Structure 1
Amino acid sequence: MSIEAEMRERLQALQPTRLEVVNQSHLHAGHAGDDGSGESHWHVALATPRFEGVGRVQRHRMVHAALGDVVGRIHALSLDLSA
Protein backbone atom coordinates (compact mmCIF):
# COMPACT_ATOMS: atom_id res chain seq x y z
CA MET A 1 0.00 0.00 0.00
CA SER A 2 1.30 3.46 -0.83
CA ILE A 3 2.02 6.01 1.90
CA GLU A 4 -0.78 8.19 0.50
CA ALA A 5 -3.32 5.36 0.70
CA GLU A 6 -2.21 4.51 4.24
CA MET A 7 -2.51 8.13 5.32
CA ARG A 8 -5.99 8.49 3.82
CA GLU A 9 -7.15 5.26 5.44
CA ARG A 10 -5.78 6.07 8.90
CA LEU A 11 -7.05 9.66 8.91
CA GLN A 12 -10.61 8.39 8.45
CA ALA A 13 -10.51 7.73 12.21
CA LEU A 14 -10.83 11.51 12.67
CA GLN A 15 -14.06 11.55 10.62
CA PRO A 16 -12.94 14.30 8.25
CA THR A 17 -15.38 16.52 6.39
CA ARG A 18 -12.46 17.58 4.18
CA LEU A 19 -9.29 15.62 3.54
CA GLU A 20 -6.50 16.45 1.13
CA VAL A 21 -3.30 14.42 1.09
CA VAL A 22 -0.73 15.96 -1.24
CA ASN A 23 2.60 14.38 -2.12
CA GLN A 24 5.14 17.21 -2.33
CA SER A 25 8.20 14.98 -2.63
CA HIS A 26 8.95 16.13 -6.18
CA LEU A 27 9.49 19.65 -4.82
CA HIS A 28 12.32 18.35 -2.60
CA ALA A 29 14.14 16.04 -5.01
CA GLY A 30 17.85 16.06 -4.26
CA HIS A 31 17.42 17.89 -0.95
CA ALA A 32 18.16 16.54 2.51
CA GLY A 33 15.53 14.04 3.51
CA ASP A 34 14.80 12.94 -0.05
CA ASP A 35 15.22 9.18 0.15
CA GLY A 36 14.46 8.65 -3.54
CA SER A 37 11.16 6.88 -2.79
CA GLY A 38 9.04 9.75 -4.07
CA GLU A 39 7.06 9.51 -0.81
CA SER A 40 9.09 11.57 1.64
CA HIS A 41 7.34 14.98 1.86
CA TRP A 42 3.61 15.41 2.49
CA HIS A 43 0.98 18.06 3.09
CA VAL A 44 -2.35 17.22 4.74
CA ALA A 45 -5.34 19.55 4.89
CA LEU A 46 -7.99 18.14 7.20
CA ALA A 47 -11.21 19.52 8.64
CA THR A 48 -13.24 17.66 11.23
CA PRO A 49 -15.77 18.57 13.91
CA ARG A 50 -13.55 16.63 16.31
CA PHE A 51 -11.18 19.63 16.30
CA GLU A 52 -13.88 21.95 17.66
CA GLY A 53 -12.52 23.65 20.79
CA VAL A 54 -9.17 21.86 20.45
CA GLY A 55 -5.92 23.85 20.33
CA ARG A 56 -3.37 23.70 17.53
CA VAL A 57 -0.87 21.49 19.34
CA GLN A 58 -3.52 18.97 20.38
CA ARG A 59 -4.86 18.86 16.79
CA HIS A 60 -1.37 17.98 15.57
CA ARG A 61 -1.08 15.30 18.24
CA MET A 62 -4.42 13.81 17.15
CA VAL A 63 -3.24 13.61 13.53
CA HIS A 64 0.11 12.10 14.52
CA ALA A 65 -1.68 9.53 16.69
CA ALA A 66 -4.01 8.60 13.84
CA LEU A 67 -1.09 8.23 11.42
CA GLY A 68 0.90 6.10 13.85
CA ASP A 69 4.10 4.64 12.40
CA VAL A 70 3.58 6.38 9.05
CA VAL A 71 5.06 9.54 10.59
CA GLY A 72 8.34 7.73 11.25
CA ARG A 73 8.56 6.55 7.65
CA ILE A 74 8.41 9.99 6.04
CA HIS A 75 10.73 12.98 6.24
CA ALA A 76 8.30 15.90 6.35
CA LEU A 77 4.63 16.51 7.09
CA SER A 78 2.94 19.90 6.97
CA LEU A 79 -0.57 20.23 8.36
CA ASP A 80 -3.47 22.58 7.72
CA LEU A 81 -6.08 21.64 10.34
CA SER A 82 -9.50 23.12 11.00
CA ALA A 83 -12.78 22.36 12.72
Structure 2
Amino acid sequence: MNLQQQLMECLDTLNPSHLEIINESANHGGYYPGKESHFKVIIVSQIFQGMRAVQRHQKVYGAVQSLLAAGGGS
Protein backbone atom coordinates (compact mmCIF):
# COMPACT_ATOMS: atom_id res chain seq x y z
CA MET A 1 0.00 0.00 0.00
CA ASN A 2 1.49 3.36 -0.94
CA LEU A 3 1.76 6.29 1.46
CA GLN A 4 -1.14 8.21 -0.10
CA GLN A 5 -3.44 5.21 0.42
CA GLN A 6 -2.21 4.86 4.00
CA LEU A 7 -2.95 8.54 4.61
CA MET A 8 -6.45 8.09 3.25
CA GLU A 9 -7.02 5.08 5.51
CA CYS A 10 -5.83 6.96 8.60
CA LEU A 11 -7.82 10.10 7.82
CA ASP A 12 -10.99 8.09 7.16
CA THR A 13 -11.13 7.57 10.94
CA LEU A 14 -12.14 11.26 11.18
CA ASN A 15 -15.35 10.48 9.23
CA PRO A 16 -14.79 13.11 6.54
CA SER A 17 -17.60 14.38 4.36
CA HIS A 18 -14.86 15.51 1.97
CA LEU A 19 -11.28 14.21 1.77
CA GLU A 20 -8.78 15.19 -0.86
CA ILE A 21 -5.12 14.16 -0.74
CA ILE A 22 -2.79 15.74 -3.30
CA ASN A 23 0.74 14.40 -3.74
CA GLU A 24 2.94 17.49 -4.17
CA SER A 25 6.23 15.58 -3.94
CA ALA A 26 7.23 16.46 -7.52
CA ASN A 27 7.34 20.15 -6.52
CA HIS A 28 10.14 19.56 -4.00
CA GLY A 29 13.88 18.98 -4.24
CA GLY A 30 15.21 15.46 -4.49
CA TYR A 31 12.09 14.21 -6.22
CA TYR A 32 12.23 11.05 -8.28
CA PRO A 33 9.31 9.13 -9.81
CA GLY A 34 7.42 7.28 -7.11
CA LYS A 35 8.69 9.41 -4.22
CA GLU A 36 5.99 10.28 -1.69
CA SER A 37 7.21 12.99 0.66
CA HIS A 38 4.88 16.00 0.49
CA PHE A 39 1.09 16.00 0.55
CA LYS A 40 -1.64 18.60 0.68
CA VAL A 41 -4.76 17.43 2.53
CA ILE A 42 -8.18 19.02 2.34
CA ILE A 43 -10.55 17.49 4.88
CA VAL A 44 -14.03 18.45 6.02
CA SER A 45 -15.58 16.64 8.98
CA GLN A 46 -18.24 17.26 11.62
CA ILE A 47 -15.58 16.23 14.15
CA PHE A 48 -13.98 19.66 13.64
CA GLN A 49 -17.17 21.55 14.58
CA GLY A 50 -16.35 24.26 17.11
CA MET A 51 -12.59 23.64 17.08
CA ARG A 52 -9.96 26.27 16.50
CA ALA A 53 -7.55 25.74 13.60
CA VAL A 54 -4.75 24.48 15.86
CA GLN A 55 -7.10 21.91 17.42
CA ARG A 56 -8.12 20.69 13.95
CA HIS A 57 -4.46 20.33 12.97
CA GLN A 58 -3.75 18.39 16.16
CA LYS A 59 -6.64 16.02 15.36
CA VAL A 60 -5.29 15.40 11.85
CA TYR A 61 -1.70 14.90 13.04
CA GLY A 62 -2.98 12.53 15.72
CA ALA A 63 -4.76 10.44 13.08
CA VAL A 64 -1.60 10.08 10.97
CA GLN A 65 0.94 9.89 13.81
CA SER A 66 2.10 6.38 12.93
CA LEU A 67 3.00 7.55 9.41
CA LEU A 68 4.96 10.56 10.68
CA ALA A 69 7.24 8.51 12.94
CA ALA A 70 10.71 7.75 11.62
CA GLY A 71 10.33 5.02 9.02
CA GLY A 72 6.55 5.39 9.28
CA GLY A 73 4.12 3.45 7.18
CA SER A 74 3.94 -0.26 6.66
TM-score by length of 2: 0.84
Cα distance change on mapping 1:35 and 1:61 into 2, 3 Å? farther
- The residue number in structure 1 matching 2:43 is 46
Q: What number of residue pairs does the alignment pair up? A: 71
TM-score by length of 1: 0.75
Which aligned pairs between 1:1-83 and structure 2 lie closer than 5 A?
1-30=1-30, 38-72=35-69
Contact 1:23-1:39 within 8 A present in 2 as well: yes
Letter in 1 for 2:29: A
User: Structure 1 stretches (4+) deviating beyond 2 angstroms?
Assistant: 34-37, 71-74
Q: Identity percentage over the alignment?
A: 32
Aligned-residue CA RMSD (Å): 2.1
Letter in 2 for 1:26: A
Mark the runs of 5 or more structure 1 residues left unpaired by the alignment: 75-83
